Amino acid sequence: EGGAIVIDGKAVAKKIRDEITIEVSRMKESIGVIPGLAVILVGDRKDSATYVRNKKKACDSVGIKSFEVRLAEDSSEEEVLKSVSGFNDDPSVHGILVQLPLPSHMDEQNILNAVSIEKDVDGFHPLNIGRLAMRGREPLFVPCTPKGCIELLHRYNIEIKGKRAVVIGRSNIVGMPAALLLQREDATVSIIHSRTKNPEEITREADIIISAVGQPNMVRGSWIKPGAVLIDVGINPVEDPSAARGYRLVGDICYEEASKVASAITPVPGGVGPMTIAMLLSNTLTSAKRIHNFQ
Ligand code: NDP
């Protein structure tokens, strides 16, 4: 009967943004440096434009300076690379983010490789991902969405060490780094993807599930071990004539069913979503501190 604790990502993200605001002003007052984040947006996808707008607003709200370059859909890869290298060389920029997806005529790998790893606040540079995967190595940055998932577990004092964790999805931006992070935190990790047979048999063993699939309500109550902790990254529009826009957003996990079985669960919206941007701001602050050797 809805026994699960609701993990309030919105509230945690607000708290983190408040902490960042204080650090940004302390840095400005002590050494006169304002952390800066540069965003490169190529093309005119509406969702990408919304994400970029939200990131800029979030920067403003904590006192981080934001820089933006918008390039046309039909611009060349060289033009994008030129913007990247301009920001790599710009001392007032501490974080560089290339909004994905890029238009299909561009080589995404080539462009992500060009971002200076010292400014790779998205954590998508292969060197940062490689270090994340290797024992005894430290990435300079960890991708924001999976980092936000782990941060939620930490802030709710949910133990990860020794637990069985299942990640559903293996994308470069969420599922794969989430699995690596859980492993670094000493969980025993299984990964489910589109070719996995009988995923419910695997999820039923999980103490912690992070789901990043993009399928509305795929994970049913019967897939979940009683008392499990559920982190739902999915953001899926489903038709809803009663909603103002004609649709509403749901996660990958069937909240109605799952919240009766789990011990804790993130809602959609208001769970992982707000944490992603908070982690981006946090990575930008960390970068500025590291570049200027400010503690
Ligand atoms: P991708 O489409 O890149 O990856 C989806 C993954 O899910 C793939 O690994 C795919 O497997 C797997 N998958 C697809 N269908 C199934 C299935 N039926 N059973 C098991 N696995 C399946 O998505 P992203 O990782 O980019 O995003 C996932 C979700 O998270 C989306 O809803 C997205 O909107 C949301 N998201 C939310 C963010 C936030 O801030 N909260 C940030 C980023 C994403 P395979 O590898 O075999 O194809």
**215: annotated active-site residue:** no
User: In which residue ranges of the chain is CATH 3.40.50.720 found?
Assistant: 143-273
- The count of other CB atoms within 10 Å of the CB of residue 106 is 20
Q: Rounded to whole angstroms, how far apart are CA atoms 28 and 47?
A: 33
The single residue of 8, 120, 122, 252 carrying the catalytic annotation is: 122
Spatial contact of 70 and 44, defined as CB atoms under 8 Å apart: no
Task: Name the pTM for this structure.
Answer: 0.97
Q: Is the CB of 55 under 6 A from ligand 1?
A: no
Architecture per CATH, domain 32-116, reads as: 3-Layer(aba) Sandwich (3.40)
The single residue of 8, 99, 147, 232 carrying the catalytic annotation is: 99
Q: List Cβ neighbours of 64 (8 Å cut-off, separation of 6 or more).
A: 20, 24, 34, 35, 36, 37, 281, 284, 285
Q: Rounded to whole angstroms, what are the CA distances from 167 to 72, 127, 172, 180?
A: 36, 23, 13, 10
Count Cα atoms within 13 angstroms, Cβ side, for 112: 19
Question: Probe ligand 1: pick from 144, 147, 194, 232, max atoms within 8 Å of CB?
Answer: 194
Domain at 143-273, CATH homologous superfamily: NAD(P)-binding Rossmann-like Domain (3.40.50.720)
Report how far ligand 1's centroid is from the alpha carbon of 70 (Å): 27
Instruction: Tell me the ipTM for this assembly.
Output: 0.99
The single residue of 8, 55, 163, 252 carrying the catalytic annotation is: 55
pLDDT exceeds cutoff 80 at 1: no
Nearest-atom index, ligand 1, CA of 213: 7
3-state secondary structure of 193: coil
107-160 per-position pLDDT tens digit: 999 999 999 999 999 999 999 999 999 999 999 999 999 999 999 999 999 999
- Number of residues that make up the chain: 295
pLDDT of residue 159: 98
154-195 per-position pLDDT tens digit: 999 999 999 999 999 999 999 999 999 999 999 999 999 999
Nearest-atom index, ligand 1, CA of 236: 32
Q: Is the CB of 145 under 6 A from ligand 1?
A: yes
Nearest-atom index, ligand 1, CA of 276: 40
- Pull the structure tokens for residue 228: 């499990």
User: In which residue ranges of the chain is CATH 3.40.50.10860 found?
Assistant: 32-116
Q: Rounded to whole angstroms, how far apart are CA atoms 195 and 198?
A: 10
Confidence of residue 2 (pLDDT cuts 50, 70, 90): low
Amino acid at the residue 175? G
pLDDT of residue 37: 98
**183: annotated active-site residue:** no
Q: Whose CA is nearest to atom 8 of ligand 1?
A: 169
- Pull the structure tokens for residue 80: 């994008």
